[in-house]
């Protein structure tokens, strides 16, 4: 009698299943099933604890990879599981994993469902439907769990884990379903002061994450664990929406809770915009200074050559000369220099450089005039003018997001239809190629759904628009009051927020493109002046 060599695979998804001894139950069932089969012999067993068959791909599961390797080497004849969903629950992957084993000479059996064969198209379709159902059950379970966790954060309650820097856990008398007192999250005022300092240094003084970490170390300000702050830890603080008073659980975000707010929405959003501007992938579009350490030039990041479009960089120039008495004088000044003109002259026919002091003075006077005009405008006049423009911007973003969602949804449906054709052998695409495409489009669709929800909320929430405009007015008014007497680092950041692009051409011809909100205000002021004239 020929002995059939059997590999057994046991898997549980959660810690709770491990503690309930689900794997021993699966093992006992597989051993009993094998004992009832003539000539079957278990020669190896694999156990996966806390591995989700829905979330974790087969290529990332060590057990599956080892079993596939042994299958190719002919080390066993049968793969036995308690139920087929122990192999996985991914509808766009697991059916093809099972089929791969069969195609490599391995019989795939389940204690509860028997043998999976692929003799006909009906067998293939049955195999696919099984994992489509298993995927659906995983989705339902995931939805139930995420929904409950989402409800917890929506209620402003702590869902568990470690409190972010700036917060602490306290028992305030709240009881859970088991009548046990649980922790709530509250602001840690000492740490919150550090968080506010970090955002201020980043947004208003233009310090990068490395320099902020160095500054905190110099002040002997340490993390909760007693370590020095690092650039990554500063970056994590700057992008954490919890400082706006928002609790999260996966894709579920709560509304902002005032009792948890450390940073206002306007400051937080400016930090996100600045981080995006300073990222490597945004280099060609960057209009903010990467650093504000230089005290010699006012502009950095948003000044460009009017002839070739290259960025102008600040460079010290000059020469030494001797007086009649033999005293050597070091003559130094700063210029904005076109990179193309100095390194690739054939790319630019413009002026090589421009005195920074001459351009800086023009920009300073321009902003002084702007701030002088702004101080004369009441908040109500500013709000009336800007509100309709803001609504138009929101509508445009919403329309683009809705078109994107419609396209990705259509693409996803087409790919799923193609999967069925692939199972039936009627598609020109392989199942593996379709699986990768479905995963990619699914992520794009989810992002589009989030964008639609976000922009729909922005368009519908008039109170939020009004609050943003008030914050913008207050910020501009604050800049108007402090600009002239500010340190150069602060002036650089104010200019970067107000001006998108400064273009300089031969003969010191200077063109300034303000950001959209400032441009709208200037147009509004010009209209008012024409009316009064």
Return the pLDDT at 289.
Answer: 55
C-alpha–C-alpha distance, residues 57 and 90, integer Å: 8
Return the pLDDT at 280.
Answer: 62
**Residue burial 301-328, b: 16+ Cβ < 10 Å; e: rest:** bbbbbbbeebbbbbeeeeeeeeeeeeee
328-343: pLDDT as tens digits: 777 778 899 998 888 8
Mean pLDDT (whole number) for 282-302: 66
The answer to whether residue 26 scores a pLDDT higher than 80 is yes
CA angle 297, 500, 399 (to 5 degrees): 160
What share of the chain has pLDDT > 70, as a percent? Answer: 81
Return the pLDDT at 243.
Answer: 94
C-beta separation of 80 from 7 below 8 A: yes
Mean pLDDT (whole number) for 245-269: 83
In which element (H, E) is residue 478 found? Answer: helix 462-482
Which residue ranges form the domains of the chain, and what is each CATH number? 4-150 (3.40.50.1390), 167-285 (3.90.1750.20)
Return the pLDDT at 138.
Answer: 47
Q: Confidence class of residue 218 from pLDDT cuts 50, 70 and 90? A: very high
Return the pLDDT at 12.
Answer: 81
More confident: 315 or 17: 315
Return the pLDDT at 18.
Answer: 44
Highest mean pLDDT range out of 60-74, 108-122, 428-442, 460-474?
60-74
More confident: 305 or 55: 305
pTM value > 0.95: no
Return the pLDDT at 154.
Answer: 63
The answer to whether residue 249 scores a pLDDT higher than 60 is yes
């Amino acid at each position: 009698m020929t002995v059939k060599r059997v590999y057994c695979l046991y898997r549980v998804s959660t810690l709770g299943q491990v503690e309930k001894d689900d794997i021993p139950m699966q093992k006992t069932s597989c051993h009993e099933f094998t004992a009832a089969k003539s000539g079957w012999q278990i020669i190896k067993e694999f156990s996966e604890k806390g591995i989700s068959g829905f979330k974790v791909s087969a290529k990332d599961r060590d057990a599956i990879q080892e079993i596939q390797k042994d299958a190719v080497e002919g080390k066993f004849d049968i793969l036995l599981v308690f139920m087929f969903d122990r192999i996985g629950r991914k509808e766009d992957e697991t059916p093809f994993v099972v089929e791969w084993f069969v195609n490599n000479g391995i019989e795939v059996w389940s204690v509860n469902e028997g043998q999976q064969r692929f003799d006909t198209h009906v067998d293939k379709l049955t195999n696919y439907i099984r994992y489509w159902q298993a995927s659906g059950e995983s989705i339902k379970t995931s939805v139930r769990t995420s929904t409950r966790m989402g409800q917890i954060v929506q209620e402003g309650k702590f869902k568990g884990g470690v409190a972010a820097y700036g917060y602490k856990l306290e028992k305030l008398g709240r009881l859970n379903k088991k009548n046990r007192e649980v922790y709530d999250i509250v602001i840690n005022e000492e740490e919150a002061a550090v968080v506010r300092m970090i955002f201020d240094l980043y947004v208003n003084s233009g310090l990068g994450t490395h320099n902020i970490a160095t500054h905190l170390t110099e002040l002997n300000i340490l993390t909760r664990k007693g370590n020095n702050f690092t650039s990554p830890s500063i970056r994590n603080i700057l992008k954490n929406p919890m400082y706006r008073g928002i609790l999260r659980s996966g894709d579920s975000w709560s509304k902002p809770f005032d009792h948890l707010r450390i940073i206002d929405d306007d400051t937080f959003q400016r930090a996100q915009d600045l981080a995006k501007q300073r990222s490597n992938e945004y280099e060609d579009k960057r209009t903010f200074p990467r650093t504000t350490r230089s005290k010699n030039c006012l502009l950095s990041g948003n000044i460009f050559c009017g002839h070739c479009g290259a960025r102008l960089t600040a460079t010290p120039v000059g020469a030494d000369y001797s007086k009649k008495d033999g005293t050597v004088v070091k003559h130094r000044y700063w210029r904005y220099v076109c990179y193309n003109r100095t390194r690739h002259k054939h790319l630019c026919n413009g002026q090589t450089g421009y005195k920074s002091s001459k351009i800086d003075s023009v920009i300073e006077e321009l902003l002084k005039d702007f701030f002088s005009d702004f101080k004369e405008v009441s908040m109500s006049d500013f709000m009336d003018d800007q509100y309709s423009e803001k609504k138009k911007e929101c509508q445009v973003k919403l329309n683009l997001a809705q078109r994107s969602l419609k396209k990705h949804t259509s693409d996803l449906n087409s790919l799923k239809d193609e999967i069925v054709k692939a199972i039936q052998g009627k598609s020109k695409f392989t199942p593996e190629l379709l699986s990768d495409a479905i995963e990619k489009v699914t992520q794009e669709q989810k992002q589009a759904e989030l964008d639609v929800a976000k922009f729909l909320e922005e368009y519908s929430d008039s109170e939020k628009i009004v609050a943003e405009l008030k914050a913008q007015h207050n910020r501009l008014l604050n800049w108007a009051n402090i600009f002239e007497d500010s340190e150069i680092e602060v002036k650089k950041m104010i200019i970067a927020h107000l001006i998108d692009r400064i273009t300089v051409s031969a003969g010191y011809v200077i063109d300034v493109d303000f950001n959209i909100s400032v441009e709208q205000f200037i147009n509004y002021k010009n209209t008012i002046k024409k009316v009064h004239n």
